[in-house]
Amino acid sequence: MSFFSFGQSAEIDIVLNDGETRKKVEHKTEDGKKEKYFLFYDGETVSGKVNITLKNPGKRLEHQGIKIEFIGQIELYYDRGNHHEFVSLVKDLARPGEMTQSQTFDFEFTHVEKPYESYTGQNVKLRYFLRATVSRRLNDISKEMDIVVHTLSTYPELNSSIKMEVGIEDCLHIEFEYNKSKYHLKDVIVGKIYFLLVRIKIKHMEIDIIKRETTGTGPNVYHENDTIAKYEIMDGAPVRGESIPIRLFLAGYEMTPTMRDINKKFSVRYYLNLVLIDEEERRYFKQQAR
């Protein structure tokens, strides 16, 4: 029983007009789980209905107005009190008054700008959501519905191969080459490693994909590195003149597009890390951003 009737006297449900046909995609939540959400792109219209169901039919529900909002916001986990909104649209559905029966309200946000990709990371979250609110004097009644936004990119005009050398003077000289410098999320990294000089006893070599998330600005910058993949390319000692092919399929790994200075709040970049370990467990590595 609600004390002094402070409990919610109505339920809100948000239903999209194209909910039966719109594609859903999996997206990671803050607790690391994956859930399915409706997928939208930049410029697409978001429309639907807000259903308000009275829990006690026949009993009046007084309110100070009913509205729905479309919000895009960034939340930095170290500053949870502040939500940085980069999209904020509001539609009034009803003026102040009273409801005596359950009602349905139509809404439409036309050609909504959604400039950034949805993202849940180690220290930051970028989300889009609809929020319907019945404003009341003491306690608002509200309901949120998250959606996921994917950004579309064009193929780069220039996507040249990468060729690099790594070495320790008079001990080790390796040349490695990747077929291009930019990859899409379902791409295959194709490359080759050449051993020009080997005078140390290498027992293991791998390629790692490292995700680096950078949040904050100035003195409050946080870097978080996360190893997305470890791919063993050699087990045993190579000899001079040997070459090893690389073929790494990205589709099997949990990756996002590269994000550069999103709303001046955060960035996400990926690196290919070539790691060599010798018989004395010393590690040698060379990193290349992609």
pLDDT value at position 1? 35
Positions in the chain short of pLDDT 50:
1-6
Phi, psi of 169 (to 5 degrees): -50, 125
**C-alpha span between 163 and 217 (Å, rounded):** 33
Q: Are 159 and 183 in contact (CB under 8 A)?
A: no
pLDDT value at position 115? 95
pLDDT value at position 289? 62
| Direct distance between the N- and C-terminal alpha carbons of the chain, in angstroms, rounded to an integer | 58
**C-alpha span between 147 and 144 (Å, rounded):** 10
pLDDT value at position 125? 95
pLDDT value at position 286? 64
pLDDT value at position 2? 36
CA-to-CA separations, 265 to 73, 255, 268, 271, in angstroms, rounded: 11, 20, 11, 20
